[in-house]
Structure 1
Amino acid sequence: MLKLLLLSLPSALAPATSLGPAGPPQDALAEVSGGNLAFACNSYRQWAKQEGNFAFSPYSISAALAMALHGADGETARQMESVLHLKQATAASGFRQLREALTPKPRGEGRWRAIPYELHFANALWARSGFPYLDSFQQSLKQDFGAHFTDLDFSQTEEARSQINAWVAENTKGKISKLLGPGSLDQETSLVLTNAIYLKANWALRFNNHNTKDRTFHLADGKTVMVPTMKQTSPFAVSTQDGFRLCELNYESNQLSMVILLPDQNLSLAKLEAQLTPENLKTWLKELRFNKVALEVPKFRIQSSLNLGSRLKKAGMPLAFDRRMADFGKLSTAEPQALTEVIHQSFLQVDEDGTEAAAATAILGAPGAAVGSKGPILFRADRPFMFLIRHKASNTVLFLGRVSDPRNQ
């Protein structure tokens, strides 16, 4: 039985895809990045029904589930492909290419040579001693996901839990320290897959701390609160749509960016969230144009934790959780395996310097354009809004979420 814990994981509804032959290598990256976008948007629409602030990492979730998908077979694999918008035959090589594309490249020469942002990925498998991995599964996860394999004694559940949590904390710079809670492991646990992502990036155009003041923020219930709000007037890419606007804030090197989606005063955030589809988002992003913008954005910090096993079942992959019917025959020669749970955790903080964010995934097993208008455009995020952090070249969504009340963590 596989027991799946994911930090930063959405459930998704998606049309079925088939287990087809591997496409040309150059297509694998496009397939994975396109699947990430679809998974992110479809999952968000399902999760938007909950109230309050939340954030998740579509990349972290997809990477962890893709490792499990690599060991799946038959109808179990087809259902997972459908939910993840991935093809089993190309997912592993696609994630390897995507990981290479996302890795920050040094800039400058000599003493000025530096990494423009911190973006770290880590994958690990923790198995009971002597767990019978199939060689093909183990080699692919090492090569394509950069995964490390460690033996654990799951009969010592608390010691095993502490070791896995320590690995997660180290790879998220301490932002996520208790991924696995008491009782999450038991003596039947045979395998745990973990994924962690950590991002720290400075704005290309930083906010001056002296301009940050308490300003009004209008909550969805009509109440007004005062929250620390950053302010600057600079060139930013913006787009005006029917009932809402977008503003893109680049991070240093312009490889990553945060996009804020702000509904107009006469449009509820829920109605904007209902429009979030992969097709719509790609269109909105293509229409971003640089203008001089008077920008006001509240500082915020979000921590999310969710159990998602039931959501994934409803999303279209119930077989993976069925102890009698699940088929993970490409993972191990051991007795039949099945997923038992998915746990999601994420952390994100936005301030004058930039963004710090982290997410983790664990899988457990047991049996541009020219500047436009002359005057500045006012973009004041003083009401609930959506945001995403993306890698611009591949259009990969690293984090996606909503700010309903900047005071709440």
Structure 2
Amino acid sequence: MSHGGLRRTGAIAIGSLMLLGLMGCLKVTSVHPATASPQPTQLPQQVAMQKPQTVDPKLVTANTTFSFKLFSELLKQESNQNVFVSPSSVAIALSMAYNGASGTTQQQMSSTLELQGMSLNALNQGNANLKALLENPDTGVQLAMANSLWARQGVPFQPTFIQRNQKFYGAQVTDLDFGAPNATATINGWVKENTRGKISQIVDSLKPDDVMFLINAIYFKGSWTKAFNKSDTTDKPFYLVDGRQKRHPMMAQTGSYKYYENEQFQAVSLPYGTKRVSMYIFLPKQASKLSSFAKTLTAENWQRWMSQFRTQPGSVQVPRFKLEYDVELKKALSALGMPIAFDARKATFDALSTVPTKIDQVKHKTFVEVNEEGTEAAAATSIGIVATSMPTNEPFQMVVDRPFFCAIRDNKTGTVLFMGAIVDPK
């Protein structure tokens, strides 16, 4: 697929998708006759709530901690590879499934998602408020979040589970004939629509024992507060992990930026629109490496670093980049403490259905493109040294010509929407 149009419009979009396939331990077949219409039945939606003014700080803290745990685990599995995820998307989809869990399954999911001390109602209300606050937060930013729940016709689901996902997550709930020829295309069509065409497929096929899919989609498109001048973009060396170099388009500009530097890295904030949302780029020093930086990439350090940024004059050179990323998260989530949810013998989702179920797969896909005008997409560490800020009034120079870390953050709520380790800006 060609994305040349993005460069002409100067927009950059980021999209993230999360899919949960809930798989029955027993084979479940639809009770609908073969002659039944393959068209999905849309269940009624809840009335939209008024836009809240704040979001529960406990939820933001939990999401931030989970985000960096998940990212760290993925870096272990995919070292020296581009990794770009939307931890917010993963957390929202898991929260939807969490409403159906009980017993040890619920306890493990709570621990993995850092929800200790939060009631189910507080979690759900917090996610509803967060979604309302994040959507279209800025005149220069498009941010849309959508949820859907696809239920196999004929399988008994708990009404409370369905109602909560409709009320708090705005989920489009569809009673779907999984045996219909166009069932997979119907689900993927929703995905494509809600990621503005950036992700066209999340479900490969439907198996006889699939009973439900929970899907979250996030679409982001932001225009830089100060666009890069295309005439200043030139091909320059980018140094890969193995020491090889490649010629790559590097965008450049000078100005006044929020900036932070210590002995391990340089970091700059590049804002979108009216500066509520920013991309943060962290560049390990020459003597360090991205893998070393990754070891210090924790929620605690992140919060401390965010408080250290100060406005300073300088110049930046940033590679233009575009990538698509997909990953199956079952292994990472099991390692983070919730293996029982995937175990057919032990998983307990009786608040979801009277049919025994487990989570079968957690698929996640992202797309990101960064260019002179902004960012458009669909669906992203050191050695324990406590680094302090090195204040200076001298203009800084930051040339991002080697592997780096980046994140897109909503500065009002502190929510990290996307984060990535870019080792090759293909």
Provide the TM-score with structure 2 as the length reference: 0.82
The CA deviation string for residues 136-195 of structure 1, in whole angstroms up to 9 with x for no partner, is 222211111011111111123x521111111000000110001112x4x21222111111
- 1:369-398 deviations in Å (ceiling 9; x for gaps): xxx855531011111000000111111110
Give aligned pairs, total.
364
State the match for 2:226 in structure 1: 205
> In the TM superposition, what are the counterparts of 1:313-324 in structure 2 within 5 Å?
313-324=334-345
Alignment partners' CA distance in 1, 2:230 and 2:18: 30
CA distance in 2, matches of 1:265, 1:295: 16
- The alpha carbon displacement at 1:56 in A equals 0.3
Match of 1:139 among 163, 178, 197: 163
User: C-alpha offsets along residues 62-118 of structure 1, whole Å, 9 cap, x if unaligned?
Assistant: 000000001111110010011111245221111011111112257xxxxxxxx4311
Any unmatched runs of 5+ in structure 2?
Answer: 1-15, 20-51, 381-390
Change in 2 beyond 3 A, CA 1:26/1:296 = closer
Return the offset for 1:130.
4.0
How far is 1:199 from its partner?
0.3
User: Which residue of structure 2 aligns with residue 43 of structure 1?
Assistant: 70
In structure 1, stretches of 5+ residues that fail to align are: 1-5, 10-24, 107-114, 361-371
Counterpart Cα distance in 1 of 2:423 and 2:215: 30
The answer as to whether partners of 1:207 and 1:231 remain within 8 angstroms in 2 is yes
> Is 1:355 the equivalent of 2:384?
no
In the TM superposition, structure 1's runs of 4+ consecutive aligned residues that sit over 3 Å from their partners are: 6-9, 25-28, 372-375
Instruction: Choose the corresponding residue for 2:108, options 79, 91, 96.
Output: 79
2:355 corresponds to = 335
SS of 2:364 mapped into structure 1: strand
Q: Distance in 2 between matches of 1:26 and 1:32?
A: 15
Give how far 1:26 is off.
9.7
- Secondary structure of the residue aligned to 2:361 is coil
Alignment of 1:172-183 (within 5 A): 172-181=195-204, 183=205
CA distance in 2, matches of 1:42, 1:59: 13
Give the letter for the 1:326 counterpart: A
Judged with a 3 Å threshold, the aligned counterparts in structure 2 of structure 1 residues 399 and 105 are, in CA distance, closer, same or farther, namely: closer
2:409 paired with 1:390: yes
- Secondary structure at the aligned position of 1:36 is classed as helix
State the distance in 2 between where 1:205 and 1:131 align. 53
Other-structure match for 2:17: 7
Measured after TM superposition, the shift of residue 289 of structure 1 is 0.5
Q: How does 1:26-105 map onto structure 2 within 5 Å?
A: 29-49=56-76, 50=78, 51-86=80-115, 87-89=118-120, 90-105=122-137
Segment of structure 1 superposing worse, 381-390 or 129-138? 129-138
Measure the CA separation in 2 of the matches of 1:204 and 1:57: 22
* Counterpart in the other structure of 1:400: 419
Change (3 A) 1:206 1:192: same
Q: Which moved more, 1:61-70 or 1:138-147?
A: 138-147
Taking every aligned residue pair, what percent have the same amino acid on both sides?
37
Hey, what's the Cα distance between the residues in 2 that align with 1:8 and 1:64?
Answer: 6
Counterpart-to-counterpart distance in 2, 1:391 and 1:26: 15
Aligned-residue CA RMSD (Å) = 2.0
Cα separation, 1, equivalents of 2:254 and 2:147: 41
1 CA distance for matches of 2:54 and 2:339?
29
Mapped partners of 1:400, 1:144: distance in 2: 25
2-structure distance, mates of 1:339, 1:126: 14
Residue 8 of structure 1 deviates from its aligned partner by: 5.5
2:5 matched to which residue of 1? none
SS of equivalent residue, structure 1 residue 324: coil
CA distance in 2, matches of 1:119, 1:104: 5
Partner SS state of residue 357, structure 2: coil
Separation of aligned partners in 2, 1:387 and 1:8: 20
Contact 2:70–2:332 (CA under 8 A) maintained in structure 1: no
The TM-score normalised by the length of structure 1 is 0.85
